[in-house]
Every structure is written in C-alpha cells, then in structure tokens.
Chain A
Amino acid sequence: MINRKFLPLYVTCSLFLALFLAGSVQFDNFFTLRVFVNLFTDNAFLIIAAVGMTFVILSGGIDLSVGSVIALTGVVVSVLLENYQWHPLAAFAVVLVGGTVFGAAMGAIIHFYKLQPFIVTLAGMFFARGLSTIISEESVPITHEFYDDVSMFGFELPGNAWLDASTIISIVVLVAAIIIANYTRFGGRVYALGGDAQSAGLMGVPIARTTISVYAFNSCLAALAGIVFSFYTFSGYSLAAVGVELDAIAAVVIGGTLLTGGYGYVVGTLFGVLIMGVVQTYISFDGTLSSWWTKIVIGVLLFCFIALQRILVAPGAKTR
C-alpha cells in the first residue's frame, strides 16, 4: 500500500510524466534525453533557488528577494572579475558569504522586530536590486577563462544530451537539501516552526536561531543560484532574474508544499520546477502561440495542474 502522506508527491510526479508524454506524442524530437536533460540545465538556478525557498516556506515564511539576490550576485561577480581582476573562486566566496549575511539580516529583522517576512523580504528585494543598479547599470560580460573551462566541463550522454556542471551542482544541492530537511535536527526545527511557531517555541525550538538560519540558508542558496546563473548567461546584469522569486514560489507550491508552512517535501519542489519547465518547452515546441496566448496557456496549464492535484489528492485529505 502506498503511504498516503506521499500522495501529493506521487500525483505531482505523474502529472509531470503525463505532460512529458503528451509533448512526446505531439512533437518530433520531444521524447529525447536531450530535452529531458535540458530541463535540468536550463532550470539549474531555479532548482537551487526553489530548494532554498522550500525551506523558507516550510518554516512558514516567504522570501521575495531571491530574484534580486541572483541579479546582485551576478553583478558583483562580474564586476569583481572584469574590473578588479579577481579570481572567480574568490569572488564566489565573497558573494556566498555576502548572501548568507544578507539573509541572516533579513531573518534577524523578521524575528527581533516581529515584522512580516513578506514585507521585509520585499524591502530586501528592492535593496538588492537597487544595490546592483548602483554597482552597474549596464550588463557586464564575463570573459574569464575559468568560466570557459567550467562551461566546457561535463559529461556526454547518449542522444546528444550534455550533463553540465550546473546540472550537477543543482542535483547535489537537491540531495543535500533532502537530507537536511528530513534527517537533521535543523530540518525538524524548520518543520516545527512552520507547524506552529508558538508551540515550537514552548517545546524548546530555538526560534531566533532557526528563523535566522532559514533565511541565511535561503539567501546563500540564492547566491549560489546567482553564480550558476552567471555561468548560464556569462554576465552580470542588474535587471536579470526579475520575477524568479515568483517562479520559485510557484514551483514550491506546485510541488505540494503548503504556503502556510509545515507541510511539504523538497523533492516535490524539483517536480514543481520540472513541470514549469516542461510547460515552457511544450510552448516553444509548439511555436505558434502569440505572446498573449503564451501567457493564457501557461495560466491554463498551471490551473489544470493544480486542479488535478486537488482532485486527485482531495479524498481523505481534509481541507483544513
């Protein structure tokens, strides 16, 4: 017998497979390893960002600054590399630490001043994007050989597919996150916080530490996503990754995590990202939709998924 607890997960997973198969029946060249691996390559940064977002949402919070942190990371890295001739690894260390500190600061404000995450991170979003425009309004191309070397790195897979460094990083992050969420005390605390922060506090969960860590962890992953994104675009640009936070939130929620916190799984998030990715691939394979029909179709598909998920999961699961 399947475990009811994981039902939403199974449903999400099979919906993904169903759409992938639908695409395969409709279009030539869709049912290839290449298209499948592209889903990972193209969305590696989103997977990383969404994994971090999963933790925040599980803890009952939300983080709107993710997209801006990705942009800021890219700008800082590219400026350090191009204008100051830093080595990329040193630049990465700076942005990862910087991202973590930024997240910790937001977490601290949220916790100590009892402000709502939505708004604090919204301010964080303005701040990070504002800072990146101040650092450089123009897009800065990255020309360091290290970037070329890394982008050459990868494994040839059958069917012209290519497993590149970003994909590998995103999978490593995913696996690590699953372990952290379900097999460490920190993970337990995150779920506890999302279940009922007051009770969690009374049960001895260190609320301050957990809140701050969750946001720090998320921003650190956002910075990592920013690094991966900079490999994706070979540049840093203050207007990059606008709205990625909404994509990440959508992926998390489609993956079956409750926005109110406390319920959900990191693996679900992966499927959330893949579902959104396959919808996009589907639309570009189709290639006949005008700009507005593209939006409408994305909306309708999103609706179908969520509706199906509800209908398939609903029996037995109480709404409240």
Chain B
Amino acid sequence: LTVGFSQVGSESGWRTTFSESVKAEAERRGIDLKFSDAQQKQENQIKAIRSFIAQGVDAIVVAPVVETGWKPVFMEAKRARIPIVIVDRNVDLKNDSLYVTRIAPDFTEEGKKAANWLMNATAGKCNIVELQGTVGSSAAIGRMEGFNSVIANYPEAKIVRSQTAEFTRAKGKEVMESILKAEGGGESICALWSHNDEMALGAIQAIKEAGLKPGKDIHVVSVDAVDDIFKALAAGEVSATVEMSPHMGGPAFDVIEEYLKTKKKFDKWIVMDGKVFTTENYQQEYKARFVNQ
C-alpha cells in the first residue's frame, strides 16, 4: 500500500511531532509513505498532490495549509480514483464527495473550551490580553471566534489588548513585554489567552521578567498541550491548555485501509476531541510523556 502524505511544513514542534507520528505509524503498518513537506505554501501542496497522482499512489492524506482552493486538484485525484483523507485543518468544499473524510480538531471548540475554563476560574470577571496566531490563519480565526463567542456572555470579561505574535515563542515574549509596559506593569491584567502554547511559553518569561508570577498573578490559557507546556504546568506557571493531539496518523490510515477494502461511506468529519489540562489534572499525562521515555 502506497500512501502520499502532504504535510503543511515544519513550522512548529507540534507539527514535527505530527509528521513523525504519521511516519512511525506508516512504518508500523508496513505502508509505503511518500512524505512531502510544503513549507507552508499551498502551491507546493497542490504540486505534491499532482505528483502523487502522477506516481499512482493508492491514497492521499492531506494536512491542508488553507481551507480553500482544493477543488481542481481533488477533482483530478477523483478522476484518477485515488481517495483523499484530510487531517488537521478544514477544507472548504461544497462537494464533499471529493474526499473520504476529515479527521480534525475543532478550532472554534478549542477557543470555547479555553474561554469556558477561564470564565469558570475567574467567575466571569477578567481583563484579558490576547496573543493571536498568524493573522489570517484558520487556527487563529477559529480560536478567536470560539473564545469571543463565550466571553460575550460575560459583561465583566473583556479583551483589553490583542496583538499577533505569529505563533512563535520569541514573538510571544517580545509582544507580551510591550503589552505589560503599556498596561502599567501588568497589575490590571487578569489573564493571558494565547492561541498556542509556544507564544504562551514566551509570554510567561516576559511576565516573570516584569516581576509578576504567571499562573498566579496572571492566568495563562493556551491551546496545543505540547511537552514544554507540561513542564510549565508542573511549575504552576500556566493555568490551562487545551489539548490538540498530533497523533492523527493512526485514524487516517484506519480510514484508508477500510475504505480501500469496503468503499464504505464515512462521516465527513471525525472530530479529534481534546482535553483541557490544568494545574489540577496534568499529572497523569505528564507522567505518560516524561517518565516513560
């Protein structure tokens, strides 16, 4: 069985873990995996899918860079009778017969979970600083939307500052540093809501350098649940993180193997549900990640 896998890129540690897990899963199952890194460019991804089709692979797994623009190349795959499974992000297609299924988390839901946790923890009274992901990315848009939809119900919760830190740790630190200064040293800020863990990890350092205690003086909530954030949870510097599992390879291959055998119809969205890890419930996962290795 030959499967082509078109990955977004390697822009974060989370993404690399995702790629590696898909590769490991393919090896375990004896699948011949054609891996292609698109370096965050949709055009590269379309090129890769075209060349998978030209090579005559049995199935294609795509982790799309953006939601739109897949119709022509998916049609081409369909003409060549190659099934497509989408993982991670969504695709925007009217004709959902072009792909078998989509295995992905729900960004809006993640934003909601983060907001719900925060509103519970602060009883709905909170001045929030938001660190956005890359402007225009679907993760940033979805998480922002979900989060805002929840806090809209709490009149005493509001976002006082919002700025992009491009999903990176270094930017997270730099932006937080300035925001703290602009907000009078950060005394008035009750929480930091970060669209991913990396930015949160950077921001924590800025908070510490400003003489405040992250997690105590300022709640820190983010999304992803990467390894480093567990260390921060253990140190009490982060309040909560919403899990977004990178292990989507297994379910994707399950679907492909079954589809190739039975051609059965799948639900168009298999949601990868994520837990919310907090300073209370992180221990088990922490052990699973660090002690076993």
Asked if the two chains touch in their complex, CB atoms less than 8 Å apart, one says yes
Cβ–Cβ contact B44 & A280, under 8 A:
yes
Q: How many A-B residue pairs have CB under 8 A?
A: 124
* Best-surrounded residue of A28, A233, A241, A291 (most CB of chain B within 10 A): A291
Q: Is the CB of A234 within 8 A of B46?
A: no
Taking a contact as CB atoms closer than 8 A, the residue among A141, A242, A281, A284 that contacts B34 in the complex is A284
Complex CA distance for A32 and B50, rounded to whole angstroms: 13
Given known pairs A234-B69, A242-B40, the reply for A291 and B7 (CB within 8 Å) is yes
Interface residues of A in 253-285 (CB under 8 A from B): 277, 280-281, 283-285
Q: Is the CB of A289 within 8 A of B46?
A: no
Q: Is B50 in contact with A41, judged by CB distance below 8 angstroms?
A: yes
Is the CB–CB distance between A42 and B50 below 8 Å? Answer: yes
Chain B residues with CB under 8 Å of A212's CB are none
B47 contact from A229, A239, A281, Cβ within 8 A: A281
Asked if B33 lies at the interface with its beta carbon under 8 angstroms from chain A, I say: yes
B37 within 8 A of A: yes
B-to-A contact residues, CB < 8 Å: 4, 7, 9-10, 16, 19, 23, 33-37, 39-44, 46-48, 50-52, 54-56, 66-72, 92, 94, 134-138, 141
Report the bound CA distance from A69 to B7 in whole Å.
26
A198 at the interface (CB under 8 A from B): no
A42 to B46, CA, bound (A): 8
- Point out the residues of chain A lying under 8 angstroms from B7, CB to CB: 291
Contact B43 A233 (CB under 8 A): yes
Closest Cβ–Cβ distance, residue B145 to chain A (whole Å)? 10
CB neighbours of A234 from chain B (8 A): 68-72
Contact A238 B136, beta carbon cutoff 8 Å: yes
Does A140 sit at the interface, judged by CB under 8 A? yes
Known: A42-B50, A281-B47, A284-B34. A239 touches B71 (CB 8 A): no
Question: Nearest residue in A to B48 (C-beta to C-beta)?
Answer: A284
Contact between B51 and A35 (Cβ–Cβ < 8 Å)?
Answer: yes
Q: Which of A92-100, A131-139, A183-191 contacts B (4 or more CB under 8 A)?
A: A131-139
Chain B residues with Cβ below 8 Å from A139 are 66-69, 92, 136, 138
Q: How far is the CB of A194 from chain B (nearest CB, A)?
A: 29
A-chain residues with CB within 8 Å of residue B19 when the two chains form the complex: 290-291
State which size class the interface on A falls in: 35 or more
Contact A281 B67 (CB under 8 A): no
Do the beta carbons of B36 and A283 come within 8 Å of each other?
A: yes
Contact between chains at A34 and B69 (CB < 8 Å): no
Shortest C-beta distance, A41 to chain B (Å), equals 7
> Are A281 and B51 interface neighbours, CB within 8 A?
yes
CA distance A41 to B53 in the complex (A): 14
A56 contacts the other chain (Cβ, under 8 Å)? no
Q: For the complex, what is the distance from the CA of A281 to the CA of B41, rounded to whole Å?
A: 15
- The answer to whether A14 has its CB under 8 Å from any CB of chain B is no
A234-B70, A237-B66, A242-B40 provided; 11 other pairs, C-beta below 8 A? A42-B46, A141-B92, A232-B43, A233-B68, A234-B72, A237-B136, A238-B135, A239-B135, A239-B136, A284-B48, A294-B37
CB distance from A79 to the nearest CB of B (A): 13
Beta-carbon contact of A151 and B137 below 8 Å: no
* A234, B95: Cα distance in complex, Å: 14
- Are B69 and A237 touching (Cβ within 8 A)? yes
Residues of chain B with a CB closer than 8 A to A143's CB: 94
Asked if A280 and B47 sit within 8 Å, CB to CB, the answer is yes
Within the complex, the shortest CB–CB distance from B134 to chain A, in Å, comes to 7
Chain A positions within 8 Å of B51 at CB level:
35, 38, 281, 284-285
Offer 19 A-B interface pairs, CB within 8 angstroms, sorted by A: A28-B55, A34-B54, A42-B47, A139-B66, A141-B67, A232-B72, A234-B68, A235-B66, A238-B135, A239-B135, A239-B137, A240-B42, A284-B47, A285-B34, A287-B33, A288-B35, A291-B16, A291-B37, A292-B10
Which of A138, A139, A231 has the most chain B CB atoms inside 10 A of its CB?
A139
Partner of A241, one of B34, B43, B54, B94: B43
